[in-house]
Structure 1
Amino acid sequence: MADYQEFLDGVDREAYHEGEWRWEEDGYTVTRTYHYSPPGCHTSCGILLYTKDGKVERVEGDPLDPCTNGKLCIKCLTLDESVNHPDRLKYPMKRAGERGENKWQRISWDEAYDEIEARVKEIWETDGGNAIICVHGTGRNINWQVPFFGQAALKTPNISTFGFTGFSCYMPRICGSIAPFGDFPIVDASETHEDRYSNSEWVPPEVLVVWGNEPLASNADGYIGHWLVQCVQMGTKIISIDPRLTWWGARAEYWLQIRPGTDAALGCAWLNVIIGEGLYDADYVASWCSGFEELAESVKDTTPEWAAEICDLDADEIRASARLYAGAKPGAIQWGLAFDQQLSAMALCLAGCDLMALCGNVDVPGGNILVHNAFEINAGYASGENLTPAEWRAKKLNNNFALSVEGGDFVAHASSDGLLQAIEDGFPYPIKMMWIQSSNTLSCPSQDAPRVMKAMQNIPFIVNADPYVTPTSVALADIILPVAMSAERNSARTWWSPCRAMVKAADFYEAKSDEQIILELGKRLNPEVFGQWETDIDWLNWYLHDGTGSFSATTEATDQGGAKNSGKTLFTASWDELVRDPSMVGHCYDEFNATYNKAEKGMFRPDGSVGYGTPSGRLELAPMLYQYWGLSTTPFHTEPPESPISTPELMGEYPLILTCGGRSFEFFHSEHRQLPTMRELHPQPRLLVNPATAEKYGIQDGQWVWIENDHGRFKQMAKVSPVVNEKTVHAEHGWWFPETEPSAPYLFGTFESNPNNCTKAFVTGQGGVGSPIKGMICKIYPVREGDTMPYQQIAEAGNFPWYEKVESPRQDEIDRFHAALDKGMEFDVMANQLVDPASGERIDLKTGAKAEA
């Protein structure tokens, strides 16, 4: 595809029914649509679904789709295995025994809805909607639907990806870039143009920094990895920053094999070089940036030599790679999840933004362009928040209930640690119900998964909606609801560009789409809101048009100074027209996202004036919003809590750096483990071990190995390979084994190979954001016959024998809270004060001192 026009000219458009959304072919009905989970995926590729008698028989890429040009990864190519799998949940089920026994009774949808409705309304009467937690999974096509349901139907402010300390997935980059930029930056690989690589304005990046990311395997956050391969074919040079050698590192001018968890130090060193050597775009900085002097002062001592000691890198390579990026016109930075999963998360994101801005690479062809959701249709986690009663909304379990965090509450989500604390301790109020939609909470997001399971057992009523019965379903759910997959739902995607439609092409038993479940139950719980839509398509039309005005953005950052774009393009088509109109056939590009240099064209600011969508109108190298949020306004490095620098005394016992979470081609987080093709290609969890390390510790390739730290242990199969260095091992996340025993205590083996046994709750970075789960320490040793398995240790003792529980940093307040309640005092959640009902005397919970009302 290096010659894009040659590729386009070679497509037989008549054979692929250009302009048609559905046709008959060789006994099949063919539907032109987009896939966007479930099964899980962060992106949305153009596909041709071949169905017969309402069943998906095969999937092909659509070469007429300008998003992906017919390219599909194995997750789409095996979609027929997913949707037709015999283990899928077929009917609503109610628990027939104890939690964990995996005994279920089939019930009707009405019976399920009846019980859920009754329990929710009872909780409203006794405790308020804030006593309900609404949980959703990651990257699925539910990132506005489920929050809207939680806040408009369940009437709870407590929406979260529960168990995930520090909002450590994507949110730090969202907030961390909206503050300095006003909109979100993505690498310009021509994806905002319908004519793609042929667009006359577009140029490929001269240099692409692939930082903490493997785009080909992850295709993360609405981004397709092969777009960047096309850029490499056109001459783009690579800098790879990654503990693992990836496809990108093997082709890189510089591969910086960084010590996990130290990326912010490298970012500060690059800034030191670029500012100190005058490599930044001085004219651009003078015209479009603010805060330069403050930034320059903050990084004057963060030299490459300083960073080299921290990052285990060569100072000369740090300096040379910084020069290469700074000299590129244009250059671009493709960042990944590693930015979020370390204590310096917000500071690291700011360093990345500062680098983009200093070098004049913001919103220019081939740089990091600024985008919003297509047609400003905001698929936000705060959607529907205005429909929750104010007195319940005010009790959202944000970081103020879990950590000593000063400053603004800038995250739409409830704090995972705040929720865990409420479940464990009843502080500041007890939790009575949890709704889990398409999240395998125990196997994937939960840090300190055994602790999370024990806490969730305290919740009286749990509903789990999912395509499969998972370890979370068996261990905790009282009702499970079957969720339809992508090929079985009508939906829409507006995450970046273009706006895309998903079209229902098949059915599976009684499974319902996320939209159908939410709409049907929503009509029972809040008919005033949900009664305005008869069908799922009615609701989608509202979302594409009228709903945009009632949505908040993904974070509260936009209300506090993010872009109110004057140049937005309105979406005027209906969902049916988006699907069927021959000029669209499922997709429509937003001209705002396709426009370069929007600041000078007055497209970012509400009044149409020149500037960016920030409080100052400039790219803020030291953002005002960071100051308002109680964050440092310039980048800095925070050492992982356990490391060769933080805890040298522990390195004798745990001599290796443990990183985890790298993506594979076969799996999306904890999904796809049932599929025969995936397990043939990737049958077991793999621990990457350097050959010298393996020899030192007596590890053979293909041998099961224990990975242990001072918190827990898990086992994976050693893959001896030089792609990691001698100091680092890399483990895979999200593993469970659907082919094994489902009932407790084994629970499909969810604890056997899960790094979450070794991660910790209540350990976060500045502002309660970020978590050090990519930079832990460990020891490794062979699994021996007769070893006690993790599930046995957890079942017998609740956790591992050497486990030390990490308490909330506000444990003194929790103790004060319970002691006061024992004396008959009451708690004023809004004021954070204890009240003596007899005398009216008030005690400030934080200080223990007398307080005024």
Structure 2
Amino acid sequence: MDSARIVRTSCRGCHGVCQVLVHLDAQGRVLRIAGDPESPTSRGFICPKGAHAARTLHHPERLATPLRRVGARGEGRFEPVSWDEALEIMAETFDRVRRESGPEFLALHQGTGRPYTEFTGRFIHALGSSNFVSPGHNCFLPRNIASALTVGWLPIADIYGRGGATPGSFLVFGCNSMETGAADGMCGAMIAKALRKARSVVVADPRTTPTAREADIHLRLRPGTECALALALLHVIVGENLHDKAFVEAHCNGFPELREHLIPLSPQWAEPITRVPAEAIRRAARALAADGPCAVLWGNGIDTSVNAFQTARALLSLMAVTGSLDVPGGMVRWVAPAGVRCKSPQEDKAQLGMQFLTPEQKARMIGAGRFPFGPGCHQPTFWEACLTGRPYRPRALWLVGTNPLLTATRGDVIEKALREHIEFTVASDLFLTPTAALCDLVLPAAHWLEQDDVVYFHKIWCVLARRKTAQVGQARDDRAVMLHLARRLGLHEAFPWADWEAYLAWLLEPSGMSFEEFADKGVLLGEMRYRKHETEGFPAPGGKVDLASRVLAGAGRPALPAYVEPPLSPVSRPDLARDYPLILMTGCKVQPFFHSEGRQIEPLRRLRPEPLVAVHPEAAARSGLSGGDAAFVVTPHGRARFVVALDEGLAPDVVSADHGWWFPERGPLDPGWKENNANMLFGHEHFDPDCGAEPLKCGLCRLERA
């Protein structure tokens, strides 16, 4: 390379759509990363995760070669091996387990939705195993599956205004991507811009976030009561005839049943449940209806609840009755760019390779039938099976981009399973995480700066180019690894592409562009069309929005959204609340980190050097604590150590604890995950009966001085 240059690519620090400019020196080393001001998706925005990505890329502790365990599990002793040897070990082991015990004794566990999702489910299902494990039951999929049943597609807020209008009103419900960076194919800075244009902004959140402070109405609800609040908003809109009558009559099934169902679910009913004044609920509902189209920004705040699925159904009903579906400035169905073979997961079931499974193989999935609308193998049930052997114990496991000791509940169960019960484990990651340190084989995964890619996952309305700008050691893209392994295992039907370059060419083939031509272009946008339902209907049962779901009724579940009190709350367990008087929330995102990622990166760590628990000053004083004190959060299931951060924006009996914490600087053998892990504070007893979500934002706890 003769001179310095700038490469346009796309960030993958989270689920966003941010395009960036990577500045390289004459030797090709990354000097800095900046937002791309010409990007139609992010307009120059970049968050700290993206800006400091080169620190991750070149971190001295990055995995640079495949590693094979040579000591006992947990000793942290590994030796480098070649990629060819690593792939041969995996292929031989997977094939042997498949022949000796059956394909269901193989499992693949992925982390949050990343580009590897194009292949992970496809790979394990092509092997004949239905045990595809993910955190989807707690993240995104409750909303996604509820949307598929109710509307037929996942509604996304029309913040970019491609039809000439941005939302007139916003309901921000359990979502804070404006501060954390991005989510669901939307840039946080673009969301904030659209919020400033709206006539009414309503925020439903137990915390007083920056967005809540600037909102027209902040509905500070009790954690876990999201469904009750959504139903009360619907009660006002429908009861006061504020709904879009023409849309409801032409495009909705079950409205009379919904209207009848909502009669007793008034703001007065909801006030003692949610702690939100009835008059505030009425004002919010009227504003959302009058100032529409209404856009709902929804997130993990409603996913992690025993009411996750029903809350999503209630909010989908609100979108429908306000006539906000697929209209400019409402909740839209994105049109994918022409000429690229990309579909969203809900539109392309073949992406997960389900067609390669027989009905008998599907029935052998661990937890099959436990949750009628659960997204595949239920993660907590899977780990319990690894420990107990019921209904059987998987023998070989591939962990791709996941660190479940920290990010899943009951890390102690997972640790015991990895140490003692699963015969062969592989981890693909950037670093030797606490989870990877317990595995038999560790593979160095490529960073997004080391990838050529056609990027569509989580975006759909646009397809972005990702260009490789660096290479550290022998790191490989997870999907390229799966392609190599698929060939060794004879999975030619599921993976017909010769290599990664062939796969990219296949994605772009209908466009007539080569990858280089596509990368030079940088972004493709779909030609957005609105009101598609007027000619195509809705791809839901009956061709209309299914407000009273026949599918749910057929599964023995409520056809209309129904509120259930959280199982561990001051209301449901007053006996327990005497010893654990505070309501515990966890899992709220913070900008520097993405779940358990980023703790090694010094500029990010400076922004959040320690795990915090946000506490109202009154609650802290009652526990004898001040801001900056070390404290234990104690629940019936465990305790974890945090630093107290005083927050007057919380209710006096609500605390919010950081999740995903470990201390990489201590080394992989004792990085503190057991002592500082919020997910150790929960059990495996309570789940959403529809989708298996866990109540991670509505438990009971107390504070003790550490």
The amino acid that maps onto 1:714 is: A
Provide the secondary structure at the position in 1 that maps to 2:382: helix
Superposed counterparts of 1:462-501, under 5 Å: 462-474=425-437, 476-494=438-456, 495-501=459-465
Where in structure 2 are the equivalents of 1:395-406 lying within 5 Å? 395-397=363-365, 399-400=367-368, 403=370, 405=371
SS in structure 2 at match of 1:742: coil
Provide the C-alpha distance between the structure 2 equivalents of 1:356 and 1:528, rounded to a whole number of angstroms. Answer: 43
The answer as to 2:415 corresponding to 1:453 is yes
In the alignment, structure 1 segments of 5+ residues that lack a partner are 1-23, 194-200, 546-569, 605-610, 784-853
Matched, 1:656 2:582: yes
Residues 21-420 of structure 1: pairs in structure 2 closer than 5 A: 27-36=3-12, 40-52=13-25, 53-152=27-126, 154-161=127-134, 164=135, 167-190=137-160, 193=162, 201-218=163-180, 219-371=182-334, 377-380=342-345, 383-386=351-354, 388=356, 390=358, 393-397=361-365, 399-400=367-368, 403=370, 405=371, 409-420=372-383
Q: Post-superposition shift, 1:278?
A: 1.2
1-structure distance, mates of 2:700, 2:140: 24
Contact 1:184-1:371 within 8 A present in 2 as well: no
- Give 1:478 deviation, angstroms: 0.3
- The 8 Å contact of residues 205 and 329 in structure 1, kept in 2 or not, is answered as yes
> How far did residue 213 of structure 1 move?
0.8
Q: Distance in 1 between matches of 2:567 and 2:650?
A: 22
Letter in 2 for 1:98: A
Residue 595, structure 1, aligned to residue 518, structure 2: no
1:563-712 pair list within 5 angstroms: 573-580=513-520, 585-591=521-527, 594-600=528-534, 602=535, 604=536, 611-712=537-638
Q: Quick one: which amino acid aligns to residue 635 of structure 1? A: P
1:433-485: per-residue Cα shift (whole Å, max 9, x none)? Answer: 000011011111x11111222233310000001010000011x2000000110
Task: Choose the corresponding residue for 2:475, options 500, 505, 511.
Answer: 511
> 1:703 & 1:286 partners in 2: Cα distance?
58
Q: Is the 8 A contact 1:157 1:388 kept in 2?
A: no
- Contact 1:523 1:529 (8 Å CA) reproduced: no
The residue that corresponds to 1:433 in the other structure is: 396
- Distance in 1 of aligned mates of 2:58 and 2:668: 21
1:713 aligns with 2:647: no
Contact 1:207 1:238 in 2 (8 A): yes
SS of structure 2 residue aligned to 1:366: coil
Residues 151 and 540, structure 2, Cα contact 8 Å, conserved in 1: yes
Pairwise CA distance, 1:233: 3.2
Q: Matches of residues 521-536 of structure 1 in structure 2 within 5 Å?
A: 521-526=485-490, 528-529=492-493, 532-536=496-500
Deviation at 1:673, TM superposition (A): 0.5
What amino acid maps onto 2:242 in structure 1?
A: L
**Aligned counterparts of 2:448 and 2:506: Cα–Cα separation in 1:** 20
2:501 corresponds to 1:541: no
CA displacement 1:314-341 (0-9 Å, x = unmatched): 1111111111112123221111111211
Q: Which AA in structure 2 matches 1:254?
A: I
Alpha-carbon separation, structure 2, partners of 1:544 and 1:349: 35
Give the aligned residue type for 2:591: F
**Largest Rg, 1 or 2:** 1
Report if aligned partners of 2:582, 2:702 keep a CA contact under 8 Å in 1.
Answer: yes
Return 667-676 or 223-232, whichever deviates more: 223-232
SS of residue in 2 equivalent to 1:436? strand
Which amino acid letter does the alignment assign opposite residue 179 of structure 1? L
* Equivalent residue letter for 1:499: V
1:766 aligns with 2:689: yes
| 1:755-791 CA-partner distances (Å, limit 9, x unpaired) | 11111224212224322111001000110xxxxxxxx
Instruction: Describe the superposition over 1:355-385 as per-residue Cα deviations: whole angstroms up to 9, x where unpaired.
Output: 1111111111111112366557235376252
SS at match of 1:371: coil
Distance 1:488 1:42 in 2: 18
Distance 1:511 1:294 in 2: 56
Distance 2:46 2:144 in 1: 27
- The residue type paired with residue 378 of structure 1 is K
1:742 aligns with 2:668: yes
Displacement of 1:623 after TM fit?
A: 2.4
TM-score, normalised to structure 1's length? Answer: 0.79
- Separation in structure 2 between the aligned mates of residue 659 and residue 47 of structure 1, nearest angstrom: 34
Tell me how far 1:702 sits from its aligned partner. 0.9
SS in 2 for 1:184: coil
Kept in 2: contact 1:396–1:414 (CA 8 A): no
Conserved 8 A contact 2:217-2:280: yes
Q: Partners of 1:242 and 1:412 in 2: how far apart?
A: 26
After the TM superposition, which of the residue ranges 521-530 and 478-487 deviates more from structure 2? Answer: 521-530
Partner of 1:555: none
User: Structure 1: which 4+ aligned runs deviate by more than 6 Å?
Assistant: none
- SS in structure 2 opposite 1:269? helix
Between the aligned residues of both structures, percent identity stands at 30
Aligned residues: 696
Gaps of 5+ in 2: none
**Deviations 1:579-612 (CA, angstroms, capped at 9, x unpaired):** 13xxxx1211112xx1111111x2x4xxxxxx22
